[in-house]
Chain A
């Protein structure tokens, strides 16, 4: 048993999220899972993007790196490659992960670095006050879609699976205990783990509320879903509207993480190497002679 508790992650800065925001549940779940796993604040690096939810590291006593919109996966990948001893997590929103950072999302999914990616998916741009996001349902009226959204919504779990992700899960901010379990499993998974989180936005998304989700979500583990069954995972990923599955949708064990396959990292984290361990570049120079 570790002696790390949820309190160890408390910061003097208090969250500025709206009362009732789904981010509170995600925040609680994250702290709980780190404590449960015995990861101390100095052993983790939480990288975020831009948006309400991406301020999470600011409210937490942990190594935090709040980056720019859409880029936390790329920053986190660099950090993980340079120090794979750190537990690296990315916390960002649906705009970050599936919109502006979509390219990084699909490539990180197939790259498989040991990073746990928690997406606070509220289906709206909230910090900028209510524009449609990549996951906003078709037809929804927002400030930038007064006639309704024309595009189809991104299905992030299906995209991650299509790109070869080795751990794909969906959580619900209204079920923080269940979500904490998913985050724990994601951190334990030695590769890229996507945890898409249904996050009610109490101000700008009046449709997908706690009550709306509460009527629809069901837990995959209770329904007997086998996450190792890729075909079953595909079917589950397609479910929405009437019944929304939460839990581990797909997992694949045994696939090596990206960093485990980089020869330069066999001897340990890059940052622990001496900068002068290339004592003499003479041997390289002779190749130019």
Chain B
């Protein structure tokens, strides 16, 4: 994916109103129309943890090149309430447009503000449209949000037919009367807007006409899992992970998926473990609080060598924290969750395409290494609507590898052929000493050079076996025998070495060949970081991005090499403590030169990031991002002492 900084082909729009006014549905509908017109879209709802009431807004960015982050400030604000203007006024840049319900008289509202003169100096384009009256005249007052979409299309000179198409689809289930009324409302509002405000200088960029997929990270992940053969998901509802089981439940009957809304997260993860143990590709989805409840069972999957996939979609913590806000503060928790030591794999997608890929890849990794795989996503990635090329999600992009899984009947030969591991574990007595497999028990946990044991499934007449959360012998019986314990620990932990050698990816690097500055990040902040880096590079400071997708086992050698060639390194994380930087230091001995830390729960925009980076360049070692900070002028070259 290319990220571009050209602003003339890029528009940022906010639609704000009270919860219950249809802000989300209008915003999502508009996005669909934009995507069908061939524009690249990044959009997200900003809302609170409640059902009705309170201000919320939908932020849409549309561009002629791929975009993977929000852009503040908005070029255009659509205000369904007076409060919308109050909340967003400060962030409106000079010349920004405001479409609003005429009866709100926002012009007067501004005139009576103490800072009226400063606002006046911004030269905002106030564009009143009689949304309510238009809605009432052509349909009903509840269609004011439809009127707003019509007006928005009118002001930005976006083809009305695209909006009409989406209205027809979205209201089809409500009958032709509702469809026709909404169409009439949209057309009338469009007409009024064209008549009054056709000269708004920031029209919608023209798309290339190529239809793209418009999807959220959670849905992309679920599709990837489905394509990879995941047919079992158990979960307990928790924002922002809920849409994964909801989506799979919505297609469960059609595609033959078992979805189980369990009584709690402990049951959810245990059900997934049970299903995976007998051979299903099983998933559980949660957020930090639920993941906390799953930690004991994570160790069960670890010691019983069960291929479990857990996706944890992070939100603002701690405890209930900020349920509808984004954060990246569960990294070290995911790495260390559960008592004792066992192999695990932790991966973190950084964009929508990686969400799909992670959905599929997680199951291959889980079955190849017979261990829990944790996919760490975050709210911004999970719930933002983004466009992607449909080919990215092709089933042909997904390969299925079940690792050392044995076909029914095969275990007989596999057990006979099993020999103690050769060079990998020379010490210790022969495993046959206290494991009479000839008695009929199958060596499910046979010690091998890779640590990976051939895996039969319960039900196979050739392989009756026991698995236990206790330390155990190769045929799965409880033991505390000193040599067996040591051998089994080494056998299990060796799987991490094997994974590191065969599957773990080095960090992704983006940017110019030689960079004097490198932004180090993971997860959803990668999109904004790449855009910020591109702008810095264009402004004369060659800046790269180092994105860690595979976080455990940690690709320490590759990370060290990349960091040594990175110039000034700045960690960019949405957490207070900078957990990736700690991990890097722990595993490579290398400290990042600077850190940018944000924990306000709001999406990181490239603008915020540039301001923070500039503060780093001005000498600050650790920058705690202040919400709403005015942008600093960009330096044209880096002149800092590391």
Contacts and interface: CB of A to CB of B under 8 A. Distances in A.
Interface stretch (B77-85, B418-426, B435-443): B435-443
Given A63-B459, A82-B279, A276-B400, A68 B300 contact: yes
Interface stretch (A71-79, A166-174, A182-190): A71-79
Contacts of B465: 63-64
Contacts of A61: 439-441, 464
B232 A12 contact: no
Tell me what chain B mostly uses at the interface: helix, strand, loop, or mixed: mixed
Contact of B275 (A71, A79, A275, A280): A79
B282 A78 contact: yes
Interface residues of B, number: 73
A45 B458 contact: yes
Contacts of B277: 65, 75, 78-79
Contacts of B260: 77-78, 81
Contact of A82 (B258, B297, B440): B258
Contacts of A288: 213-215, 219
Contact of A81 (B211, B263, B275): B275
A63 B266 contact: no
B195 interface: no
B223 A281 contact: yes
A265 B466 contact: no
Nearest to A80: B274
A255 interface: no
B257 interface: yes
Given A58-B478, A78-B232, A81-B258, A264 B253 contact: yes
Interface stretch (A35-43, A150-158, A198-206, A222-230): A35-43
A275 B281 contact: yes
B395 A13 contact: no
Given A66-B468, A82-B280, A103 B253 contact: no
Contacts, number: 208
B35 interface: yes
A64 B278 contact: no
Nearest to B465: A63
A5 interface: no
Nearest to A50: B469
Interface residues on A, range: 35 or more
B637 interface: no
A107 B466 contact: no
Nearest to A103: B263
A145 B400 CA distance: 55
Interface string B263-283: 110110011111111111110
A284 interface: yes
B250 to A, nearest CB: 10
B461 to A, nearest CB: 5
Contacts of B253: 263-264
B296 interface: yes
Contacts of A74: 262, 266-267, 270-271, 274
A78 B214 contact: no
B300 A85 contact: no
30 contacts: A43-B459, A61-B439, A61-B441, A63-B464, A65-B274, A65-B304, A66-B469, A67-B273, A68-B297, A74-B271, A77-B274, A78-B274, A81-B260, A82-B275, A82-B278, A103-B263, A107-B267, A263-B252, A263-B253, A264-B257, A270-B258, A273-B256, A275-B229, A275-B281, A278-B255, A281-B226, A282-B390, A284-B223, A284-B251, A289-B36
Given A61-B439, A67-B300, A75-B277, 10 more contacts: A63-B465, A65-B468, A74-B267, A107-B267, A263-B256, A264-B253, A264-B258, A271-B279, A285-B390, A289-B213
Q: Closest 9 CB pairs between A and B?
A: A275-B229, A78-B274, A78-B271, A74-B270, A64-B466, A82-B275, A79-B274, A66-B468, A82-B280
